[in-house]
Chains A and B, each alone.
Chain A
Amino acid sequence: MSSLLEVSELRVEHQSRPIVDGVDLVLERGEALGLAGESGCGKTTTALSVMKLLPSALTQSGTITLRPPGVDEPINIGKRTEAGMQRVRWRHVSLVFQGAMNSLDPVQRLDAQIAEAIRLHEPRAGAKEVRERIAELLKTVGLTADLGRRYAHQLSGGQRQRVMIALALACRPSVVIADEPTTALDVVMQAQVLELLERLREQLGLALILISHDLGVLAETCDRIAVMYAGRIVETGPVSSVFEDPQHPYTKRLLDSLPVIGGARGLAAPIPGGPPDPGDLPAGCRFRPRCPYAAEKCLQDPPLREVRPGQAAACHFAPWSEWPQTAATEARVSR
């Protein structure tokens, strides 16, 4: 296979409690993959694993292979040492952190921070070249070059987010992982940032892994989506299929619970309870305690398998052609 990024059997544990439990992902060149799920499901941990940036208390296993364009040998991230990873990070895959606005050094000018990133990977780059690159980067993200001379606190939230994106692009990677890039932003700023990401993908041919708990954001930006629950992927497929025709009860209930402008008013029945504690996982299917369709069979762990062309779900009863109404799924409130 010649995909850009391939993750296979990724497992991350914290004191033998699984945070990420057997995740497989494939990212093609120029593709936008969405990673959806609620807090605690392991999506950020997955992102950090790809960059091998996990804190030492977590153990990581599994294969991660990166095949950036222009590089002959595929990069086996799992086998790389810290020194080896430093050559990979930012140059081939970079990360826009969650809460990015607070990840900027408050006492350094912004252009200095971008310059630092560039110099770490291209130590021989001349000062003029670096300056030009910075100006170009800022322009690419829709900021004027003079903003580079400012400090982080002098910029608004939306602007800082753009700077973070510029930073991520500094070394011209082929993969950018954006972890909740719009979470703290207003709807208007969010639209601007999403539009920017879209434009960047077109202009630079970037592949994007977009992590968000906001399914709307993922629907608008991504080609494919993977839904995570309790450390596992429970559904994956093209955005159009998954949103129109979800094949896992969790995805379905989540989509139902989202208010959509122009759609039905009122509230759908919420999913009861909360996600399981990694130290106390239910037997069999991890969604079973909250699933309105749970049955005896669900005590066996369902594998992630293809149930429709291009679409896979981890549910014994998939493919679903229709979703039966149960007491638990009846809409509780209407307006």
Chain B
Amino acid sequence: MEVRDLAVQFRARGRVCRALDGVSLEWKRGEILGVVGESGCGKSTLARAMLGVVDSAAGEVALDDRPVNGKASLGELRRRVQMIFQDPYQTLNPRQRVEAIVTEPLVVQGVARGEHDERVRSALGDVGLEPERYLTRYPHQLSGGQRQRVAIAAALVLEPEGLICDEPVSMLDASVRAQILTVLVELQRRRELALLFITHDLSLAWSLCDRIAVMYLGRIVEQGSAVDVIERPGHPYTQALVTAVPVPEAGGRERREALTGELPDATDIPSGCRFHPRCPKRFEPCDRVDPPLLDADGRGQLAACLLHDSTLTGAEGRAGTGAVNE
């Protein structure tokens, strides 16, 4: 799938909230793409806009190079790309049995009745839930991990090519988390699924994703291969995120300066580079110039930071030290 200059706006208290402010992204077949950022940065909105659940103010979404506009292409998109949500305790209709939940996509998309049973059983089996035991259960009889598995099964039943996972494990305990992630990644391997992994947990993105896009206040500020972006961040925000992640290792005590301040409201986006008020590396033009995604290392890693604009710093790469900061 491809997203080009997607913008989504909401009206909040009489002001315009630019939840997505020109996002362009490419999600390749079979790849695990991570979308990382703090809450409020727009990553969930991006997912919803991609599936057409939320109206976009500008930009377009393309599937297989064909723009998605109009009922037919939207219907096709919704068959080929599915979504799983964050809260396993809210993601299932408490009045529906597992069977009904997993069959629903088939019903809505008009798949022939005769195929339902087989597809549902196969999907449940794929997520590690024995159909015989689980088909007749209600959500309140299931644990968090099991509910999430049901949600995944419901997403698989249409045999999609892409799965958007919006923080699928952040509300689960550590051991259950590992189980669900294993299910997802194995599915990805077996079915050659493309996964769009939305998370605020960088360690997760590190261990699972092929490529990562880092979002801040409705824009992508950095993207590239997961290893490169995390080990050699080109954008100061990414850098701050990486160092802020607590490390479960002995000696993780050496603290670096935590990022100050908080994410500004999306109704009041700062001028110039939207990160400049909090940026430890900001210098003179940062409050006036809004940097586009620039090539940070010549190998496909992009960062929206003036430090990579060779015309300004006089050299390429991250050499920028002309930092004017308090």
Q: Does A257 contact B (CB under 8 A)?
A: yes
Determine how close the nearest CB of chain A comes to the CB of B120; give it in whole angstroms: 24
Q: Is B259 touching A191 in the complex (CB atoms < 8 A)? A: yes
B175 on the A face (CB < 8 A) = yes
Taking the complex as formed, is B208 at the interface, i.e. its CB lies under 8 A from any CB of chain A? yes
Q: Is B20 an interface residue (CB 8 A)?
A: no
Residue of A156, A187, A219, A257 with highest tally of chain B CB at under 10 A: A187
Residues on the B chain within 8 Å of A195, using CB = 255, 258
Chain A nearest CB, measured from B311 CB (Å): 31
CA distance A43 to B240 in the complex (A): 31
Q: Are A187 and B201 in contact (CB under 8 A)?
A: yes
Contact between chains at B203 and A261 (CB < 8 Å): yes
Complexed CA–CA distance, A305 and B258 (Å):
39
- On chain A, the residues within 8 Å of B65 by CB distance are none
A154–chain B nearest beta-carbon distance, Å: 12
Decide yes or no whether A190 CB sits under 8 A from chain B.
yes
B244 touches A187 (CB 8 A): yes
A residues 204-227 in Cβ contact with B at 8 Å: 213-220
Q: Choose from A158, A217, A239 the contact partner of B250 (Cβ within 8 Å).
A: A239
Q: Are A190 and B246 in contact (CB under 8 A)?
A: yes
Is A128 part of the contact surface with B, judged by Cβ < 8 Å? no
With a cutoff of 8 Å between Cβ atoms, the chain B residues found around residue A190 in the complex are 244, 246
Chain B residues lying within 8 Å of A257, measured Cβ to Cβ, are: 174-175, 177-178
Residue tally, chain A, CB below 8 Å to B: 53
Which residues of B have CB within 8 Å of A239?
250
A124 at the interface (CB under 8 A from B): no
Distance from A207 Cβ to chain B, minimum over Cβ atoms (Å): 17
Residue pair B207, A259 in contact (C-beta under 8 Å): yes
Is the CB–CB distance between B246 and A214 below 8 Å? yes
Decide yes or no whether B130 CB sits under 8 A from chain A: no
User: With A and B bound together, what is the CA distance between A241 and B262 in angstroms?
Assistant: 35
Flag whether B129 is at the interface (Cβ < 8 A).
Answer: no
Within 8 A of A (CB), among B142-189: 143, 145, 173-179, 181-182, 185-186, 189
Inter-chain contact A255/B182, CB cutoff 8 Å: no
Binds B, one of A83-91, A168-176, A262-270: A262-270
Q: Which of A321-335 contact B (CB under 8 A)?
A: 332-333, 335
Interface pair B262/A189, CB less than 8 Å apart: yes
Contacts of A188 in B (CB 8 A): 38, 240-241, 244, 258-259, 263
- Let me know if B230 is at the binding interface, CB within 8 A: yes
A29 to chain B, nearest CB (A): 20
Asked whether B247 is an interface residue with its Cβ less than 8 Å from the other chain, the reply is: yes
Tell me whether A48 is interfacial, beta carbon within 8 Å: no
**Chain B positions within 8 Å of A271 at CB level:** 175, 178-179
Interface membership of B39, Cβ < 8 A: yes
> How far is B227's CA from A41's CA once the two chains are assembled, in angstroms?
35
Is B204 in contact with chain A by the CB < 8 A criterion?
yes
Contact between A240 and B207, CB atoms less than 8 A apart: no
Contact for B186 among A217, A219, A263, A332, CB less than 8 A: A332
21 contacts between A and B (CB under 8 A): A38-B175, A159-B262, A188-B244, A216-B203, A219-B247, A220-B253, A254-B175, A255-B248, A257-B175, A258-B174, A259-B203, A260-B203, A260-B207, A263-B207, A265-B226, A267-B181, A274-B145, A332-B182, A333-B182, A333-B186, A333-B189
A residues sitting closer than 8 Å to B (CB atoms) are: 38-39, 156, 158-159, 186-192, 194-195, 198, 213-220, 239-244, 253-255, 257-272, 274-275, 332-333, 335
> What is the interface of chain B, defined by CB distance below 8 A to chain A?
32, 38-39, 143, 145, 173-179, 181-182, 185-186, 189, 200-204, 206-208, 210, 226-227, 230-231, 240-242, 244-253, 255, 258-260, 262-263
